[in-house]
Amino acid sequence: MRVIAGTHRGRRLTAPPGTDTRPTSDRVRESLFSILGPLDGERVLDLFAGSGALGIEALSRGAGSALLCDDARAAVEAIRANLDALGMDAQVVCDDARRVLRNAHARGAAYDLIFLDPPYRQAERWAADLSVLVPAVLAPGGRVIGESDRRAPLELELPLVDERRYGDTLIRIHTNEP
């Protein structure tokens, strides 16, 4: 796994040990960021961050700031190690995604890009909560990128603007504008 483009292009990333984390493949990240287009100062929230690859890729491509969140200590350690190895600055939180979203809303935070990649077998369980909590922290014109298994999609109740399938991986891009 590596950073695909931007200031840290080609640099390797590490994933947490074990099989609990399923990093987004290089191919899917490359395709996703081609769809998203140029980044210029966006505020990024990467929930269920795992290795931090999506948030790190966004920063490498020009995003202005990022909050990377995962509730697994091993994932947070891998994210911090990746950021340190790259000399990148981002906020990292080890907490439940719901609590992170509620806290972000309480402090008035807004994000231009929100990456949601819950464990594939839990996408259905997360969909309702994320559909309620995410819009409260999505900046006007912001985009939400959901990644899930094509057989058990992350069904968010937000306007869908694009959907792509890469093998068993389904990427859905939502916005807060009808």
Is 5 part of any domain? no
Task: Provide the domain limits for residue 123.
Answer: 26-175
* CATH number of 164's domain: 3.40.50.150
Choose among 109, 121, 124: nearest CA to 154.
124
Is 163 part of any domain? yes
* Number of compact structural domains in the chain: 1
Is 63 part of any domain? yes
Is 146 part of any domain? yes
Across the strands, what pairs with 163? 172
Give the predicted TM-score (pTM) of the model.
0.93
Show the tokens assigned to 18: 């074990």
Is 51 part of any domain? yes
Is 93 part of any domain? yes
Is 17 part of any domain? no
Phi-psi group of 27: left, alpha or beta (phi > 0 → left; psi -120 to 50 → alpha; rest → beta):
alpha
Q: What is the pLDDT along the chain (178 residues), one digit of tens a residue?
A: 888 888 888 788 888 776 566 667 788 889 999 999 999 999 999 999 999 999 999 999 999 999 999 999 999 999 999 999 999 999 999 999 999 999 999 999 999 999 999 987 788 889 999 999 999 999 999 999 999 999 989 999 999 999 999 999 999 999 987 6
Is 7 part of any domain? no
